[in-house]
Amino acid sequence: MNTHFTVFERSLHLERYPAKHQHVSLQAWDAADEYIIEHVENCSLLESTLNKDTPFLIINDDFGALSCWFSDKKPVLVSDSWISHKSVMTNLMINGMDPESIEFCDALTNLNEVIPSKAKVVLIKIPRSLALLEHQLIALQSVLDEGSTIIAAGKVKVVQNSVLKLFEKYIGTTTTSLAKKKARLIFSKYAGIKTKKSPYPTIVSDPLIPFSLSNHANVFCREHLDIGARILLKNLPSALNKSVIDLGCGNGVIGVSILDQNEGAHVTFVDESFMAVESARQNVINHIGSDERATFIVSNCLEELLKEESSNYDIVLCNPPFHQQNTITDHVAYQMFTDAKKALKHGGELRIVGNRHLDYPIKIKKLFGGYEVIDSNKKFSILSTYKARQ
């Protein structure tokens, strides 16, 4: 993996978290990071506008290129991703920088409570989800004034009209730079717009489930049930009095169904998105009436849970992701299966839904020694496997 991030002859060592599971071809920054840093340094933007009391926001830094580069300017980092937070923290330490130089916030944090006055400079990496961007631009309004400088960056393919329209709608006049190494910058001037009602969270109902689901902006399948989730919902195990993990819980549709159908079941909801875990918590409270039978953990796979305990769970249910940030990858699914084995009791079950073209069966057979196909359709299979009894 290339870890030497160099701009203007200054180098940083940057890794994607967790470094040991990444494909060697993946690196922790992209051309949009380089472009925005070059721009800010070329116009000495931070030197001319910031002093120690003027708030500086970095939004959606992927793995720490921006936060580490500008760490001496004491930025506030806003990101919905636990993996991004962890990457930034790890990269600060690798580069001998003070982790306390950065204030970490999730994307649901009320920015007014974090920064003392209006933001002077805001740097934004365009996220994969337009809904997250929309939520973030609305949330930004309360900390902007006409003196704020807002610069966003993304690969050319993500800087589309739909993105520019969101900036025009929620911030004000918006222009773009020329493309450089397939990246582009967006410059937006705050026009004092105050949006009264955010479109988020959204509510989803479906005949397959006896409850509706509330979804914060960055939640997977915010507007309808996922087709993988649909087949898993038709093949849920009996879980009376069992302890169950909903791994990669999203809005919690799988775990809430388990709580709904099984007296005495306890579900631990885990996701790397703060918005997902918060949506799952809301959905448990809305439908089950209390969160007494639930635990909520923001984590990369089961890392945070496994720090406290292992071999305690009866069942792990999982509809694994395909992405880490903007990259399609299968390493997250594989770490999920490996972590699930550690979390399960001997005799405990891992039940997953997987796209049939993926090699999940091979991986599961290698880890657990075998599996059973419980159901399948043209696109998906439900695989069940057990951790061997001692």
Ligand X SMILES: C[S@@+](CC[C@H](N)C(=O)[O-])C[C@H]1O[C@@H](n2cnc3c(N)ncnc32)[C@H](O)[C@@H]1O
Q: Is there a cis peptide before residue 201, judged by omega within 30 degrees of 0?
A: yes
Radius of gyration over every alpha carbon of the chain, rounded to an integer in angstroms: 22
For residues 241 and 161, give the distance between their C-alpha atoms in angstroms, rounded to a whole number. 51
Q: Which is nearer to ligand X, 46 or 270 (CB)?
A: 270
Q: How far apart are the first and last CA of the chain?
A: 39
Stretch that binds ligand X, among 54-62, 117-125, 221-229, 358-366 (CB under 6 A): 221-229
For ligand X, the binding residues in 172-191 under the rule CB under 6 A are none
**Least distance from ligand X to the Cβ atom of residue 185, Å:** 28
Residue type, 34: E
Does 248 help bind ligand X (rule: CB under 6 A)? yes
Does 154 help bind ligand X (rule: CB under 6 A)? no
Asked if residue 269 lies in contact with residue 297, where contact means CB atoms within 8 angstroms, the answer is yes
Q: Copy the structure tokens of residue 300.
A: 């990369």
Q: Which residues contact 89 (CB under 8 A, 6 or more apart)?
A: 99, 104
* Site mask for ligand X (CB under 6 A), range 59-98, x = bound: ------------------------x---------------
**Least distance from ligand X to the Cβ atom of residue 247, Å:** 7
Q: Which residues contact 165 (CB under 8 A, 6 or more apart)?
A: none
From candidates 37, 65, 301, 364, binder to ligand X by CB under 6 A: 301
From candidates 84, 149, 300, 381, binder to ligand X by CB under 6 A: 300
Q: Which is nearer to ligand X, 18 or 172 (CB)?
A: 18
Does 34 help bind ligand X (rule: CB under 6 A)? no
Q: Which is nearer to ligand X, 158 or 249 (CB)?
A: 249
DSSP tag of 388: P
Sheet with 344-355, strands from edge to edge, namely 294-298, 266-271, 243-247, 313-318, 344-355, 380-386, 372-376
Does 352 help bind ligand X (rule: CB under 6 A)? no
**Least distance from ligand X to the Cβ atom of residue 92, Å:** 20
- Residue 177, classified by CB atoms within 10 Å of its CB into exposed (0-12), middle (13-18) or buried (19+), is middle
For ligand X, the binding residues in 102-141 under the rule CB under 6 A are none
Task: Tell me, by CB under 6 A, how many residues bind ligand X.
Answer: 20
For the chain, how many helices (H) and strands (E)?
12, 20
**Least distance from ligand X to the Cβ atom of residue 261, Å:** 16
For residues 285 and 357, give the distance between their C-alpha atoms in angstroms, rounded to a whole number. 37
Candidates 125, 80, 76, 326; CA nearest to 215 is 80
Does 221 help bind ligand X (rule: CB under 6 A)? yes
Q: Which is nearer to ligand X, 37 or 233 (CB)?
A: 233
Q: Which is nearer to ligand X, 17 or 35 (CB)?
A: 17
Stretch that binds ligand X, among 69-77, 166-174, 242-250, 287-295 (CB under 6 A): 242-250
Does 321 help bind ligand X (rule: CB under 6 A)? yes
**Least distance from ligand X to the Cβ atom of residue 370, Å:** 24
Does 22 help bind ligand X (rule: CB under 6 A)? no
Asked if residue 67 lies in contact with residue 94, where contact means CB atoms within 8 angstroms, the answer is no
Residue type, 206: D
From candidates 131, 143, 186, 332, binder to ligand X by CB under 6 A: 332
For ligand X, the binding residues in 249-288 under the rule CB under 6 A are 249-250, 253-254, 270-273, 276
Does 226 help bind ligand X (rule: CB under 6 A)? yes
For residues 251 and 151, give the distance between their C-alpha atoms in angstroms, rounded to a whole number. 31
For residues 294 and 263, give the distance between their C-alpha atoms in angstroms, rounded to a whole number. 13
- Interface ranges with ligand X (CB under 6 A): 83, 220-221, 226, 229, 248-250, 253-254, 270-273, 276, 300-301, 319, 321, 332
